Amino acid sequence: MSETPLLELRGVDKSFGPVQVLRDVDFAVYPGEVTALVGDNGAGKSTLVKCISGIYGTDAGEFFFEGRPVTINGPRDAAGLGIDVVYQDLALCDNLDIVQNMFLGRERRSGLVLDEPTMEELAARTLAELSVRTIGSLRQHVSSLSGGQRQTVAIAKAVLWNSRLVILDEPMAALGVAQTAQVLELVRRLADNGLAVVLISHNMNDVFAVSDRIATLYLGQMVAQVRTTDVTHAQVVELITSGRSDSLGANGRNDGGRRRNGTVGGLE
């Protein structure tokens, strides 16, 4: 695992009028790892993601990409760095097929016409790299796909466009057991292929199944960023609900997950 974060945020503040939503937030994501972003409703997860993807500006704070300071002033800057967000609604067009969706707005041409064979081959290769076996024809309309398959297409689209950081907002919401399992495996494979992945989820099971690190927001503050091997389910739930975990050490602050707390483990 790499020691330099792909993206690092330091001291991010964000207010909407009198309401301070993010307070001095530090956050780091590493290539090849899944960082789970957890927190109760209203803790600031979505706001943080929107700051990263350039939809919201920040009031204070610094951004570093591969150690270099960068500024993100809009979605275009974020996309330029290779940051892609897959939202819950997925933003796919039901009346287009899988290949058309994956290349939407960025179609390949050969001369005057679209280069369909190349696009189909690239789409197929991307899905194969992710070991996706659940999709039959690439030419079926997205409307005919199940929830899990749609999620797969939306994620594969991000991979096709060489994203380096993919942020997934509740990708398993509203999926059944079998499809959740497939999407979890896909999330894991993204990171195993070298991408940095941020997974927002309320389901502790999904978080523990695939994450390497868990970042917990509590009332707009980052109360802990720990390695998944260092915590138990009960401790993470405690962090989410009270912002602290006694068994994790002083106020749970854990230096971006780099320092290992001696007291963790054996407690439930």
Partner 1 sequence: MRTGPSQEEIRRQNLGALLRHVHLRGAMSRAELTTALGLNRSTIGALTADLASAGLVSEAIPKQRGRGAGRPSLVVRPESARVHAWAFSIEVDRLQAARIGLGGVVLDRRELGRPRGLVAAETAPLLAGALKEMRRAVPPGTIGVGAGIAVCGMVRREDGLVRLSPHAGWVNEPIGATLATELGADTPVVVANVADVCAFAEHARGAAAGCDNVIYLYGDVGVGAGIIAGGRRLTGHGGYGGEVGHMVVNRHGSPCECGSRGCWETEIGEYALLKAADRPEAFGREAVLAVFDAADRGDARAQTAVRQVGDWLGFGVGNLVNLFNPEMVIFGGTMRDLYLAAAAQVRSRLNSVALSACLEHVRLRTPQLGNDAALIGAAELAFERLLADPLDAS
- Site mask, partner 1, residues 8-27, x = CB under 8 A? --------------------
Max CA-CA distance within the chain?
A: 66
Q: Are 197 and 214 in contact (CB under 8 A)?
A: no
> Site size for partner 1, by CB under 8 A?
32
- Site mask, partner 1, residues 65-104, x = CB under 8 A? ----------------------------------------
- Give the footprint of partner 1 on residues 141-180 (CB under 8 A): 176-178, 180
- CB atoms < 10 A from the CB of 243, how many? 19
CA distance 254 to 248: 9
CA distance 239 to 217: 8
211, amino acid identity: S
The tokens for 79 are 């996309």
Is 45 a binding residue for partner 1 by CB under 8 A? The answer is: no
In the bound state with partner 1, the residue whose beta carbon lies nearer, of 71 and 131, is: 131
CA distance 12 to 156: 30
CA distance 13 to 70: 16
Which of the ranges 47-55, 77-85, 157-165, 205-213 carries the binding residues for partner 1, by CB under 8 A? 205-213
- CB atoms < 10 A from the CB of 15, how many? 14
CA distance 193 to 220: 31
- Site mask, partner 1, residues 105-144, x = CB under 8 A? --------------------------x-x-----------
Is 184 a binding residue for partner 1 by CB under 8 A? The answer is: yes
Is 197 a binding residue for partner 1 by CB under 8 A? The answer is: no
Q: Are 186 and 132 in contact (CB under 8 A)?
A: yes
CA distance 16 to 121: 46
CB-based contacts of 176: which residues, under 8 Å, 6+ apart?
147, 148
In the bound state with partner 1, the residue whose beta carbon lies nearer, of 88 and 232, is: 232
Among 4, 143, 229, 251, binds partner 1 (CB under 8 A): 229
In the bound state with partner 1, the residue whose beta carbon lies nearer, of 170 and 206, is: 206
The CB-of-192 to partner 1 minimum distance in angstroms stands at: 8
Among 64, 87, 161, 208, binds partner 1 (CB under 8 A): 208
Binding site for partner 1 (CB under 8 A): 131, 133, 176-178, 180-181, 184-185, 188-189, 192, 204-210, 228-234, 260, 264-268
